[in-house]
Structure 1
Amino acid sequence: MRGAHCWTDHRLVVIKLNLRLPRPCRSERAKHIRLNFERLQDTNTRAKYAETLSTALQPLDLKSGEINTVWESLSSHVLDTAKFTSTLGLKVRKLEDWFDDNDRVLTDAIDKHRRLLKQHSRTHQSGNVEELRHSDLELRKLTRQAKDKWWQEKTSDAVAR
């Protein structure tokens, strides 16, 4: 029993905590360079790339020196020519959009919802809340339909291949 009144004082608790946080996992490898080789299927692009590559490789002396240094200079010239010229360039990884900018019904619903949001933020009237909720539900329904349609087209294209 502690103090004048039984069990009224607080008890001091001491904890020793040994906290170890893991280091973030980072790859030590260099990132792979992805070149846009699909452009080489065009004969004009292929000829232009061959011409720029031959002009870039002319000043190199490939017959003298150690094999590793020659390889490093050759590979760096080839990669730089592919990356920084307008012929090939880097491959851009772009995800396909399920939203079609030309879908008039969906863009009208988005515009209406944005207009109602602005109006509601200015006035804060209770009548606008119900209309805003209805617009939100309608917009969600339309976007879900558009997304489902996109997925169905995507799967039918994959099956057709």
Structure 2
Amino acid sequence: MGKREQKKGRRNLTVCTWNIQTLVENFETKWFGKDVWRVVEGFTLLNFSRPLPVNGEVVVRNEGVGIILDPQATAAWRDAGEGSSRYKGIKAKYFSDLQDTGPDTTNHILVVLGDFNARVGVLGQSDDLWHKVIGKHGLDEGNLAGENILQFCTANQLTVMNNWFQKKNIYYGTWMHPVTKKHHMIDLIVMRATGRVSCRDFKVMRGANCWTDHKMIRAKFRVRFPRVCATKDKIAFAVHELSLKAKKDEYRDKLEDKLRVNTHSLETSTEDNWTTVKLSTTAAAEESVGRERRNQPEWFEENTEVLTPLIVAKNKAYTVYLTKNTQTKKKEFRKHQRIVKKAVDKAKEE
């Protein structure tokens, strides 16, 4: 990483997703019609949307959903009430829950990734419906599940990153159909459309090998993390004071008193006990040795009560500007800069 990139606060971020929970080569599910199928030793498979053959006719089995429950999940399902109507709405509930979480993260980097079991297709020559939602590179035609994904992305200003980068077709397929041997792109990486320029690469990692029929997918990002301004709490303790015997004895006595009052207990968690020790230690240090004093000019020390609030307000405005990076926030930060400069010049003249 170059010096220029370090100053900007940009960092490389790599995210991956890999579906390794599949039924590849374990056993096949090629039965028809039954909504509930007992597998073995309490495991249950919920199966629906597969038509029954009539008079020996051949029925194409290209759609359907199956959910396998272990004994504990089977018991919970039966207690809640059996019936396919209770699990047909799982996908709809997923999108509803995802929609509820979206608005709370508008100021953060948002990446949703995983096995969506949906084909979103590619952007056609005259297709303006999914403009800025998908790119023109990739595999497959879309299906109904993929259309649901694209509608959700459009409503929330999201984009599917899989098909924005031109690559060989072998680097788009994430899953191979066991019968047709055709590769499909059903594992997706979705992010906010306004941050698409921060994604530098997408690739299917074909060399990753595991007991699964899915391929790992990887995306690389260049992101900017807001710089956090130092606060008073981060000023180091004046530990050099402990070289004096009087200060050392004072710190030891105060720490013993606080630990005697705030005793740890075996009934509380390790986290709570650690918090008690930490607070006692820092409180004893504050009262005995205090914090390091910064060498400030005389004019600043004389006007610290006036200048400090102005500087704090300016730092907060700068943090907000780095986070949101809009012209409005930039103007607000510049305004605070001018106020601080005017106050500093006045303090120096006096």
* TM-score class, shorter: 0.3 to 0.5
| More strand per residue | 2
TM-score by length of 2: 0.19
Higher relative contact order (CA 8 A, sep 6+): 1
Q: Which has the larger radius of gyration?
A: 1
Judging by fraction of residues, say which structure has more helix: 1
Alignment TM-score, normalising by the size of structure 1:
0.39
